[in-house]
Structure 1
Amino acid sequence: MDRRVASLEGISRRGLVAGAAGLAGLAVAGKAAAQVRGSQRVEALIAQMTIDEKAGQLSCYADMIRPPVGDMNPAVNLRNTQQLLAETRAGKIGTLMNGVGVEGALLAQTAAVEHSRLGIPLLLAADVIHGFKTVYPIPLAEAASFDPPLAYRTARAAAQEATAHGLHWTFAPMVDVARDERWGRVAEGSGEDVFLGEALAQARVRGFQGPDLKAADSMLACAKHFAAYGAVAAGMDYNTVEISEATLREVHLPPFQAAFEAGCLTAMSAFNDINGVPATANKRLLTDLLRTEWGFKGVVISDYTADQELVAHGYAADDRDAARLAILAGVDISMQSGLYSRYLPELVKSGAVPMAVVDQAVRRVLMLKEAIGLFEQPFRSIDPKAQAARTATPAMRALSREAGARSIVLLKNDGNLLPLPRAGKRIALIGPFADDRDNILGPWAFFGDKSLGVDLATGFRQAMADPNLLQTVKGSDVEASIPGGIEAAVAAARAANIVVLAVGEGQNMSGEAQSRTDIGIPRPQMMLAEAVAAVGRPTVVLLRHGRALVLDGAVKNAPAILATWFLGTETGHAVADVVFGAVNPSGRLPVSFPYESGQQPYAYNHRTTGRPAPADSEIQEYKARWRTVKNEALYPFGYGLAYTTFALSNLKLSSPTLGWNDKLQVSARVTNTGRREGVHVVQLYTRDRVASRTRPVRELKRFLRVSLKPGESRDVVFELERGSLTFFGEGDRWIAEPGVFDVWVASSSVDGLNAQFTLLGA
C-alpha cells in the first residue's frame, strides 16, 4: 500500500492541498507527466544537433544580459552580455538564470529563437523563493500558518508577478526537512516535520505552476535540494551528511515525492554528500531511486557549480572527471560551472560518456521546454504590458499583509497584555528593527522592491489613534552597540506606558552560508533588553528571525512574546494588525524553540531511549537529558496561543481497532472558550507503541484550521488508515506492523487528548 494514500476528512493526501483550498482540478501531476513524454519535434531536433549544441542545452549560466541585483552567488565563470548573446546565437546555452526584466528577456530569447541554427528557445529561471517584487513571509514563517491554501496563494501570486518580468522557472520550493536550527537555510523550508513539509511542498508546487503549464503566468517549480541537505552535520552549510537509509526514506525524501506527485517537473541536486557520495554524482539517488524507483520523468539541475565542487569533495580527479560523474549520475543541467560545455564533446568522443546518456538528458530538457509551450510561444512571459500590470498590485500587497499576520506566533501573553489598545497609551518601540526597512524582506529576496517595504514604526503609527504617542529608539545595531543607544532607550521606556522591544536576527544572519553556533539573540541587543526591562514597564517582545531562537533573560521573561520572523513587504502592517488586535494570532511553531543552543539538533518527533527522562519527575539522574536542561523544548512544535482560549473534549474513535484494509475515524470537539473569534489549529499525532524499529514519541499525521466564534463548538473528524502508520522497516521497504498505537488530538506536539487503538493484521 502506498503510504501516501492516507486521508483527511475524505481528502486524499495527494489532493490535500487542492481539496483544502477548494481548488478542484489543479492536481496537474497526470497532465504534467503526459506533457513530458516523447515528441516528434524533440526527436527531430536531437537528430540534427551537434554535440556542442547538445552540451549547450545542458548548460545554465547567470543572466548577465539583465544582471541580477545583489550578491546572489559566488562570482564564478561569469560571462558578459556580448559573450552570452554570442553563445546563445551559437546554440551553446539552454538556460539563463537570475536575470529579470522583459527588455533583456526579449533580447536573449530573440538571439536563441531567431539567430541560432535550430531556434531552440531559452529557459529563463530565477530564485523566486518567497515572492518577487512583492515579498511574502519566508517559507519557514509561512509554515507557521499551518495553512497550505495560503501557501498555494502566495506561490501563485509570486509566479504571476515573476512571469510578468520574463521568467519561466523558479528554483523553489525548498522542501528539505531541517532539525538543526543552527543551519541558516532552515529559513527557506517548512521546518522539522515531514507531514507539514509534504502538504506545503504540494501547495507551493501547485501555486507556482498553476492549472496550466503553458499559461503565460505558469512558473515551473523545482524541488530542492535532492537530498538530505537539511541533515548537514553540526548545522554547517555545505557540510557532510551521515544518514541511515531508514531516516533518509522516512524524513528527508517524502516531501520530494509529494512535490513530484503534485506535478513538479524539475529537481535540484544538493551540495552535500550522503554517506560519502556527493549528491551531484550519486547515481543511486538521481537515477536508481528518482527515475527508476519513483518514475520521475523531469529534469535534474545541479546547484550552483555543484558539479565542479566534486573535485573539492575529493570525489572527482579534475573538472573533466566531475562532468563525467555528474552526467552519468543523472544530472541533466550543469549550473554555472560550464563543465558540460567544456568537456562533454570530448567525453563523448573518447567513449567515457555514451552519446545515449547525453541524448537522454537533452531529451528531458527539450521536453520540459515543450511542456511549458516554449516552442509554440517562445516569447511567452515576455510582455511589457503584463510587466506593468502584474507588479505589486493592491491584491498582492493585501496578500502579503494577510500572509504575514497569519504567520505570526503568539508565544506568551501573561496577563493578557496583548492586544495593545489603539488609543490612550504612550508606546516606546525600541530595538534595531523599530523603524528599520533593511531587514524586513528576509533572506533570498533579492528581487524584492525595498521601496515597497513597510517598517514596524509605519505600521504602528497607522494602527494607532494618535501616532504621536509612539516613540521609536534604535538602542543598538543588530550585532553592535551604539554610543548612547541604551541611555536613549531607557529614557524612552521611562516616558512610555508600554514598551515594544523589536529584537532578533538581521536578514543576513539567516539563509545560505549563515550557519550559527549560538542561536540566541546577539549580545548587544540582550544588553539593551536587560536595561529596558529594568525600567519596569509592561513589555512586548517582537522577535525577528529565520530560525527557532534561544530566548534568555529579559527577552524570555517578558510578559508577551511574538514570533514575527521575516514577513516580507507588508511586515509593519501585518505585525500591527496582530499587536493591536485587528487579527487574532493563529500561527503555530513549525520548529521547536530550544532552551539552549547545545540541544541542536532537536525535534519534537525524536525517538525515545532506553532511559527516557520522566516528564512528571525532577529525578533526572542517568536519564536521557543534558546537565542543564531536560530533553524538551521551551516552546514546542505546533505550539501557539491566541487572544482567545480553546478547549478540546469528547475524543472518540469509531472503533478500538483498525482493520488492515479499513479506515478509522478519530473525532473530538473543539470549543472557543474565550471572548474573541479565533482560529485553532487542531493537530492529530500518533505513536507506534512497539515496533521492529524504534519509533518517534509522536508523529504529526493530520491538522485542521478551525475558525470559531466565542462560545462556538465544532466536531472535527480525522481519518486514519494503515498507510498513515507505515515506516521504512525490515527488508528496506515500507511496512506497517499490527499492534497498539497511541493517538492524540492536540493543540501542540506535547499536549492533547489521548486514546489507543490496535492495528489488526491482514
Structure 2
Amino acid sequence: MINIVKYFWVLLFVFFGTFSIRAQKTIPQVETLLSQMTLEEKIGQLNLLTPGGGIATGSVVSKNVEDKIKAGKVGGVFGVAGPEKVKQAQDIAIKNSRLKIPLLIGSDIIHGYKTTYPIPLGVSSSWDIALIEKAARLAAKEATADGINWNFSPMVDIARDPRWGRIAEGAGEDPYLGAKIAEAMVKGYQGTDLTQPNTMLACVKHLALYGAPEAGRDYHTVDMGKVKMYNQYLPPYKAAVDAGVATVMTSFNDIDGVPASGNQWLMTHLLREQWGFDGFVVSDYTSVNEMIAHGLGDLQAVSAQAINAGLDMDMVGEGFLTTLKKSVEDGKVTEAQITQACRRILEAKYKLGLFEDPYRYSDAKRPAQDILTKENRSLAKEIATKSFVLLKNHNEVLPLKQTANVALVGPLAHSRNNMLGTWAPTGELKLAVTVLEGLNNNFPNVSISYAKGANITDDPELAKKVNVFGPRVQVSDQSPETLMNEAINLAQASDVVVAVVGEATEMSGEAASRTDISIPESQKKLINALVKTGKPTVLVLMSGRPLTIQEEFDLPVSILQVWHPGVEAGNAIAEVLYGNYNPSGKLTATWPRNIGQIPIYHSAKRTGRPASVTGEFQKFKSNYLDTPNTPLLAFGYGLSYTTFEYSNLTVDKREIKQGEPVEVSVTLKNTGDYDGVEVVQLYLRDVVRSITPPKKQLKGFQKVFLKKGETKKVTITLSPDDLKFYNNNLEFVAEPGIFEVFVGTNSDTQLKTVFDLK
C-alpha cells in the first residue's frame, strides 16, 4: 500500500512538473545548469566575441578570447571555421571552463558558404521560393560541415532606396515577397530538426527598419510611423518569427528615437509579446556600445538599457561582460533579467544538441563530402541563371548565334575578384568562373576575343575605398585611351560585342552607400564608343543594386542584368547569352530614371492631386518638371526570349464574405518562338478604406513554364489575410468594399477585374 501511494505521488509530481515546465517552456537540463551558475558565468554566456581572421563588420576585434572562454566569459564566437579549429574552440570550453558549456559558432553565410550563389537581391529576382529554400539548405549543409552552427542570416530588411548599399543583401522593396523569402530561408537553414548536424540556427536581421535610413546612408537614422512600419516594413521579420527562427539580430538605427539594441517596445512588446518569439536576441556588431554615440549615456548605462529592453547577447562590445555585475549591485538590472537572457542562449544550445555532443559539428570527413561538390556547384549555376533579368533585347540580338564572332570587353569580363559579390566572406575567389572562362568552357567552338576596354573606375580615391577587402578595382598600367582603343579595334573586327560592365562587388553592400548610382564614367565612355562602331552590342550588367541607366537604356543595346552571380558566374552567363536557358528573372526593386526619383516603389500611395494617367504634365498636379513620375523599370519587370499573352481574367466569386478566400484565374499563352518561364503576378487595390491605400500591392505570384504556342489557365488563391491591413489602431482588419485585382507580367499591368467584400 505504501508503495502504491508513493508511486501515485511520483506520477502526480511528474505530471504537474511536466505541465509546469511546458507552460513555462523551460528545459529541465537548462534549469539544472542555471542553478549551478554564478552571476558572472551567466553574464559570460551573454558575450559573443570574434578572435579575428574573417571579414569584420566593425573596427573592433576581441582580445584574449581563449582566456575568456576558459573563465566562462564567452557564450559564442564567430570568425572560426573548419572542423579542427571548431573542435579546438569547443575543447577550450569543455575541458577548461568550470561548467563545460559548449560554444555557439557563428558566421555570416549570406549567399552560400564556399559554394557561393548570387547576392540575395539577385536570388530574390528568381521569384522561386522552393529554389530559395533549397539554396539556404545547401548553405547550411556546407557551413555545418565546416563547424558553423549559427548563421547571421536571413537579412530581410525592406529597401526602397538603392543608394543604400545593403539593398544587395535583401529581397528588395516588397513586404509580401520579402515575407515569403524570409520564411523559405529560415526553413532552409533550420530544417525540421535542429539536432541534425547539417542544420543550424538562423538569425533574422536587422530588427527593425534598417533598410530605410534617411538619405540612403548606412547606419543613419530612421523616422517612420507605426502604420507604415506594420504594413510595409515589419512583415518579413514577422514571417521569419512565424517560421520558427531561432534568433533575431537588432539593427543599428533608432526607432522612435530609441536605438534598436536598447528599444524595449521593439524587443519585448512587439517581438515577444505580440509575435510570441521565444528565442534569443543578439545585438549587431558593437551596436550596444554605439548607443553611447547616439547620446544615451556611458557603457554601463547603455548596457543596462539593452538588457532591460530585452537584448540577450552582446556582439563584440563586451559592455555586458564588463558592466552588468555592477548594474546588478547598483539596482539598475536584476539578476532575474540576466538569468532569463542566459536561459534563452542555453536553450538554443540545447536545441542544437550541443550539450549531448559538443563536437557534432566537428566531423573531419564532412568538408570533402559536403563542400563545393559537383552537385553544389550545379545548383549555384541554376540559381544564377534563374536570377538574371533581361532588361532590353534590341533587335532580338539575344540569344547569340554560335556562328558569330564575339568581342568580349569590359572591366568585369575577366575579373575573378568581382564574381562572388558583396558579403561573401566564406567564398573562394580563386574558384570563381569569369565570363571569359564561362564562354570558353561552354562554347569552345565560338570565336571569342577579349579586351578589358576600361577600368571599373578611373577615380583612385573611390578605388581605395572599394578595395578595403582586397583588389576589386584594379587600375591598369595602360592609359584609359589605350584600353579603349584596344576594345574598339576588337569590336570593329567582330560580329557582335558583349560588354560586361557595372559595379565592383564592394561598390555595394555594407558601408557602401552611393549618391551617384549610375555606371562609372570610365565605363560610360567605353559603352558609347562601342555603340558608335555600329556593331550589335549586349551589355551584361553587374551590380548589387538598381542603377540609374536611362542613358544606356536609350542606346541601341541589349541589356542583361546579372547582379553578382557567384562562383558559377561565367558558366551561368554563357548559358543565358546563348539561349541554353531562357531568362525568367523579374526585378524585386524598382529602377529609377534618375537619383531624384528616390525613393520610388510600386506600392506607393496615391495623392489628392494625382498626375495625369497619360503622363502629360499638368500644373498643380503631383509631377516633376524635368522627368516623368514613372520609373525606368517597374517592380516585377523582366523580359524573355519569348513573349506571353494574358487574357480572360476572372474571379470565382464577385461577392465574398469576411474570412472567405478568392480564386483568381487568368489565361496565359506563350506567343513567341521559345519555350519559357513567366512569373504571373497578382496585385490588389483596396479601393476605399479607413486609411489611404497603396496604388497596388503584390498579393500572389506563380512561376509557369510554357512551351512555345502552349496555353495554360493559371489560378492564384487570395487568402482572407491577403485582404487585411493594419489600421490606425494597429488592428489587422479587412474592411468591406470593392477590391480591384490586377494580373500580369509586372506591377504596371492593366488587366483588371473586381470583387466585393461584404
Report the CA distance between 1:653 and its aligned residue: 1.1
Tell me if structure 2 keeps the 8 A contact 1:540–1:558: no
Q: Secondary structure at the match of 1:683?
A: strand
Match of 2:462 in 1: none
Q: 2:198 aligns with which of 195, 206, 217?
A: 217
State the partner residue of 1:430. Answer: 409
TM-score using structure 1 length: 0.93
CA distance in 2, matches of 1:256, 1:74: 24
Secondary structure of residue in 1 paired with 2:716: strand
Question: In structure 2, what is the equivalent of residue 661 of structure 1?
Answer: 659
Aligned residue identity for 1:53: E
1:88 positional shift: 0.9
Answering whether residue 327 of structure 2 is matched by residue 347 of structure 1, we say: yes
| Amino acid aligned to 2:660 | D
* 1:248 pairs with one of 229, 232, 248: 229
CA distance in 1, matches of 2:379, 2:615: 47
C-alpha change, 1:607 and 1:34, in structure 2 (3 Å) is farther
Corresponding residue number in structure 2 for 1:16 = none
Rounded to whole Å, the distance in 2 between the matches of 1:36 and 1:709 is 56
Matched, 1:453 2:441: no
Q: 1:392 to 1:556 in 2, by over 3 A?
A: farther
Matched, 1:359 2:339: yes
Aligned residue number for residue 326 of structure 1: 306
Does residue 91 of structure 2 align to residue 110 of structure 1? yes
1:72 paired to 2:56: yes
Q: How far, CA to CA, are the matches of 1:473 and 1:357 in structure 2?
A: 63
Q: Which stretch shifts more, 91-100 or 724-733? A: 724-733
Alignment pair present for 1:395 and 2:375: yes
Paired residue for 1:283?
264
**Per-residue Cα deviation, 1:445-472 (whole angstroms, up to 9, x for no partner):** 01101121000001111232524x1111
Within 1, Cα distance between the matches of 2:648 and 2:22?
Answer: 47
Matched, 1:545 2:547: no
Residue 615 (structure 1) shift:
2.8
Q: Report the Cα distance in structure 2 between the residues aligned to 1:110 and 1:34, rounded to whole angstroms.
A: 33
In 2: Cα distance, 1:669 partner to 1:306 partner: 51
Q: Which of 183, 192, 195 is the aligned partner of 2:176?
A: 195
Alpha-carbon offset, residue 617 of structure 1: 4.2
Deviation at 1:757, TM superposition (A): 1.2
Judged with a 3 Å threshold, the aligned counterparts in structure 2 of structure 1 residues 720 and 307 are, in CA distance, closer, same or farther, namely same
Q: How many residues align?
A: 718
How big is each residue's C-alpha offset from its partner over 1:644-682, in whole Å with a ceiling of 9 and x where there is no partner? 111111111112112112222111111111121110100
CA–CA separation in structure 2 for the residues paired with 1:685 and 1:400? 31
Matched, 1:370 2:356: no
Q: What TM-score does the superposition give when structure 2 sets the normalisation length?
A: 0.93
1:47-446 equivalences under 5 Å are: 47-64=35-52, 67-68=53-54, 71-79=55-63, 83-315=64-296, 317-422=297-402, 424-446=403-425
| Structure-1 residue corresponding to 2:457 | 479
1:596, 1:75 → 2: CA distance? 34
Distance between the aligned counterparts of 1:705 and 1:58, measured in 2? Answer: 44
1:461 counterpart letter in structure 2:
N
Q: Deviations over 1:674-693 (max 9, x none)?
A: 12111010011000111111
Which amino acid in the other structure matches residue 757 of structure 1?
F
Find the aligned partners of 2:386 and 2:24 in 1 and give their Cα distance: 37
Aligned-residue CA RMSD (Å): 1.5
Q: Which structure has the larger Rg over C-alpha atoms?
A: 2
Q: CA deviation at 1:351?
A: 1.4
Q: Which residue of 2 aligns with 1:583?
A: 581
Q: CA deviation at 1:211?
A: 2.1
SS where residue 740 of structure 1 aligns?
A: strand
For residues 147 and 537 of structure 1, what CA distance do their matches in structure 2 show?
36
Contact persistence 1:36–1:298 (CA under 8 A): no
Shift of 1:629: 1.5
Over residues 61-107 of structure 1, what are the superposed CA-to-partner deviations in whole Å (9 max), with x where a residue is unaligned? 0134xx22xx422231422xxx2222111111010012211121111
Q: Partner residue of 1:4? A: none
Deviation at 1:581? 0.4
Q: Deviations over 1:481-538 (max 9, x none)?
A: 7511111111111111101111110001110000111111111111111111111110
Following superposition, the deviation at residue 631 of structure 1 comes to: 1.5
SS at match of 1:268: strand
1:642 to 640, 643, 668: 640
Among all aligned residue pairs of Structure 1 and Structure 2, give the percentage whose two residues are the same amino acid. 42
Contact 2:171-2:181 within 8 A present in 1 as well: yes
Aligned equivalents of 1:186, 1:148: Cα separation in 2: 19
State the one-letter code of the partner of 2:384: G
Residues 32-77 of structure 1 show CA distances to partners (whole Å, capped at 9, x for unaligned) of: x98993112111111111111111100000134xx22xx4222314
Change (3 A) 1:420 1:457: same
Q: Distance in 1 between matches of 2:668 and 2:320?
A: 58
CA distance in structure 2 between the partners assigned to 1:236 and 1:620 by the alignment: 33
* Structure-2 separation of matches of 1:36 and 1:123: 24
Provide the residue aligned with 1:741 in structure 2. 739
